[in-house]
Amino acid sequence: MTYLLALDQGTSSSRSILFHRDGHAVAMAQRELPQIFPRPGWVEHDPMEIWNAQLATAREALAQAGVDAAQVQAIGITNQRETTLLWDRRTGRPLHHALVWQDRRSEPLCARLREEGHAPTIQAKTGLVVDAYFSATKLRWLLDHVDGARAAAERGELAFGTVDSWLIWQLTGGRVHATDVSNASRTMLFNVHDNTWDAELLQLLQIPPSLLPRVQPSSSAFAETDPALFGRALPICGVAGDQQSALFGQACFSAGMAKNTYGTGCFLLMHTGERFQPSHNGLVVTSAAQTSATPQYAMEGSVFVGGAVVQWLRDGLKAIEGSAQVQALAESVPDAGGVMLVPAFTGLGAPYWNAEARGTITGLTRGTTLAHIARAALESIAFQSAALLTAMSRDVQAAGGAPVTELRVDGGAAVNDLLMQFQADLLGIPVVRPAVTETTALGAAYLAGLACGVYAGTDELSAQWRAERRFEPAMDRARAAEAMARWERAVRQTVQD
């Protein structure tokens, strides 16, 4: 039997999934990752917690399946992107907690970059807007605020990485410092046209080049693990940021295919092939997972708070005891009763890019119940995603392309039928949920399998993709447009004069 082990290190948990070559999951282990909130708008993770939990789940998945490491052909890694780590090359110890992608502490530096007129250059080189979401300004913050960090960095003693680089470093006992193009493209330091770290941007951000990992195609031989970890050395042959990995796992290999992942945030990506197509509607261009040195691109929109709004209902409002209860509570009322909830807890991402926005609930009456708020919370996920696809369609059609005809979906909240139907209603196109919803981990497994020869090519992977359910739009288009107009009015109210 041929197996591929996917390490899926996410924002809220570390997971490992063992896949058979036919794409079905054989075993899965998961551990929750504690969130650290030192101040409002600051979000951190303990790097050693990330590593220890990831290693533990990998061992648990193998044990659960009764599979010996000798039967594992390769490891694939997929990870929360933009999250920024800095560690000592000699000891392997982190200098500070990881700054999570949601962390907003470097927004003042971003504001200065925008005021000084650097945004167009940065966008032209990287495909990204200037925002604290990306890694570059987080790394600059660490160098400026951790005692001795800048001096040590300039002496070549430190290593920077996104979570994939940190895991590769740990898995290899500090022998390999590497990343892939998809993760590098999220740093705001990487030139996506020629797949290299950009010297001009490094100088602008005052980042010593010695900090940076080497960059490889997403499907390639990265390293072998320390034999002591699993009883033998296992090749690491696939690495991709979680959203590009999900695009790959959804078999969206050609231009015009799109997927939306409903996780802590929501991430809508459309493959644009070898064409770098800048957005004029608040989206970003990112490197897609690549199987060769030839650049491949995707247009992306990111929602900062997607499924996390359900966690807020559970932990903040205490409206539900468990996340699985939200659908039943929301379905206990026929609609949201005019309530609009905009979960701008850490500002708004694409297509709005407003760091100052804050969460609001509007349309409350004496008849409003927790059920209405729960329904409005669920619907907010679909509204934000619909705003992204609308912006994406404007960009594509302006460039002479065809609009998206169906949306493939995955992630934890994609199991919610009420949400998926409402999403199809707002968009006016089918929403398709695959038989294997663990597409982020599956993408990493597929990338690893391609590089080590388990699969002959992407046509074989396309043939394995299966739909579990199609949600056809049932809402009148005029009603859907009216609902979106109400949403946009609610968004405007998130920013106070």
Span 46-86, pLDDT tens digits: 999 999 999 999 999 999 999 999 999 999 999 999 999 99
Q: Which pLDDT value is given to residue 496?
A: 61
DSSP structural state of residue 104: -
DSSP structural state of residue 187: T
Q: What is the pTM of this model?
A: 0.87
Per-residue pLDDT tens over the stretch 75-115: 999 999 999 999 999 999 999 999 999 899 999 999 999 99
- Say how many residues make up the chain: 497
Q: Which pLDDT value is given to residue 322?
A: 77
- CB proximity list for 268: less than 8 A, separation 6 or greater: 258, 259, 260, 300, 301, 302, 303, 385, 388, 389, 392, 407
The angle formed by the CA atoms of residues 54, 435 and 333, to the nearest 5 degrees, is 95
Q: Which pLDDT value is given to residue 278?
A: 83
Instruction: Quote the percentage of the chain above a pLDDT of 90.
Output: 69
Q: Which stretches of the chain drop beneath a pLDDT of 50?
A: none
Question: How far is the C-alpha of 210 from the C-alpha of 213, rounded, in Å?
Answer: 8
Two tokens, residue 429: 């196109």
Question: How far is the C-alpha of 440 from the C-alpha of 250, rounded, in Å?
Answer: 8
Report H helices in 87-174: 107-115, 119-126, 135-145, 149-154, 163-171
Task: Count how many Cα atoms sit within 13 Å of the Cα of residue 493 in the half-sphere of its side chain.
Answer: 15
Two tokens, residue 410: 């995955």
Q: Which pLDDT value is given to residue 394?
A: 85
CB atoms < 10 A from the CB of 94, how many?
18
DSSP structural state of residue 289: P
What are the backbone angles phi and psi of residue 149, rounded to the nearest 5°?
Answer: -65, -45
389 in helix, strand or coil? helix
